[in-house]
Amino acid sequence: MDSLKSLDYPSFDVYLVDNGSQRESVNAILNYLNNDSFYSIDLIQNENLSNFTKTNDSNIVFILNENNSGFAGGNNVALNYIKDNVPTGYVMLLNNDTIVTSDLLTGLVTKFNESDDTGFVGANHYYYHDKNRMQTVGGGSIDMVHGECMAITTNGITDEFDFLTGSCILMSCEVLRMVGVLSEDYFMYWEDVDWSTCARNLGYKLRISDVGCIYHKEGASIKSLSRIYYHTRNRILYMKKYTTGLTYYKFIIYIALYVLKESFTNINQNKEYSKTLLKGLKDGLLKVKTYNKKTSKRG
């Protein structure tokens, strides 16, 4: 929140969603906002958001979620409100574990407006604790054989991206309405890959701004077993959604053999790891197949 105050973009509002955290966290944020001269706050419970109208003199809407809805569900609370109530302008999805440079937002908007076919624009990510080391350029490629998404970590390799990293994505409000919000099937991990795929299926291009960057703490609060479970389950969900026939069945054979090998190899050393892998495989295979209806090319 401190770093956002340094943005050189002329005017912006912040939609901050507390995703069902402990009351102490909410109180700490409120204490910060109420004692900061830059921010003027509207406070609203999620269940009252449908009847909410932002006041003209506020520049931050603090939305309280009663439950943890995951990365997609938490962000969608704000994205749905913006989609339905903010007719023009831009929306930037930004992780809470990031610090922004002052020129970030201006750079993203400028890049968006360079080409009519741009859908999403991402930003370079550097490690928060090692600010000279790049984490990712802001996007990556998808291996549709093995169901893996791979971040690109060196600038200049390509300007064609299969996905942008969900920790920082900018689009216009018009594009948001065309593409829709994040899929909540994933809870966390792979939802940004799915979102990017939805945009590409509509004919939009994914691009990266070379002006400004974010410093990312890289989800340090996410427990490792949760990462393993959701990465395993969600890569299956993604492949189930976007591949068919022989491609899909070859992947299923690959992922099943991989998980079984990993699980039985590590069963004595790390039983919880093995159980988590197997649960991710089972839940991914058993979850009902879903589709995004927004697949037609844009005019």
- Let me know: does 64 contact 48? Beta carbons within 8 Å: no
Mean pLDDT of the chain: 91
- Say if residue 290's pLDDT is above 70: no
Cα-Cα end-to-end distance for the chain? 38
Nearest alpha carbon to residue 224 among 260, 178, 270, 184: 270
Confidence grade of residue 296 (pLDDT, cut at 50, 70, 90): very low
The pLDDT value recorded for residue 287 is 78
Confidence grade of residue 248 (pLDDT, cut at 50, 70, 90): very high
The pLDDT value recorded for residue 15 is 96
pLDDT in tens, 126-145: 999 999 999 999 999 999 99
pLDDT in tens, 54-112: 888 999 999 999 888 888 999 999 999 999 999 999 999 999 999 999 999 999 999 99
Percent of the chain surpassing pLDDT 70:
94
pLDDT in tens, 184-234: 999 889 999 999 999 999 999 999 999 999 999 875 445 588 889 999 999
Nearest alpha carbon to residue 163 among 190, 139, 143: 139
Rounded to the nearest 5 percent, the helix, strand and coil shares of the chain are 40, 25, 35
